[in-house]
Structure 1
């Protein structure tokens, strides 16, 4: 798994739209803890339209959180470049290892700015999509509770991904 995630950290990013209904329901139920009564959640999830709505919202928030993680990563590279001057040429192997970078080339300032802008734009689009989706929420849903539940699930699932990106 270390080899796989070294090349593509999205390997650790769950895709909630491809999970079976029972697996997704089970994941939501295990993440409820003290956020919501499990019986109330089961009752909501048994309604097909609400189940689909929650699943779609979960996938949107999942993608948004991933974009935020990437934006943080590229912001870190940008700030590192500004403070330690690693824009081009060679950097020490120790510095390259500490920052998961190639020591012979470093990262160009242009590349870092492009990636930072790309993920910033993705975050904005993701936030807009979440907002539009939440406007279509069924009236019987307490969106604050549902959002907390979904965020709790995603934070648990993206924990390993977050660690991998930090590494």
Structure 2
């Protein structure tokens, strides 16, 4: 267990704390935990690259931690009626479809490239920005409607990156013959 993997596990362990603060409407504390999780995300990747501590476990855990953090944030905010439920449905459905595709490819013994693309990274960044701003505005009792432009860009990029990953997988499976 190296430092980057420990930081990733810490990020996963922060998720229930973050959700708890949200549920009890302790938005400032939830925001601090969310930002701390973001810092651990940046640190684990940087340390892994600089100290040459990349591992297969880390390659699996890091994106999983990101997905768990974002999914829990979107679902919790939707359940609390702070954001429309359809947003959580879009975000969670995209991730579930992509995970199912990856599992199917693995079962078919097809090596699918699951490395993040610029669209995927952009999606994660916009989703995180949306959640951070939603929690911040909720903490200040400001109408989340001001996030409408960001919402539409984030949803558009979420869908675009989802289709892009599906297309990449389809092309790979089609050309590999499996």
Give the TM bin, normalised by the shorter chain. Answer: 0.3 to 0.5
Structure with higher RCO (Cα < 8 A, 6+ apart) = 1
Between structure 1 and structure 2, the one with the greater Rg is: 1
Task: Identify, as 1 or 2, the structure richer in helix.
Answer: 2
TM value normalised by structure 1: 0.34
TM value normalised by structure 2: 0.32
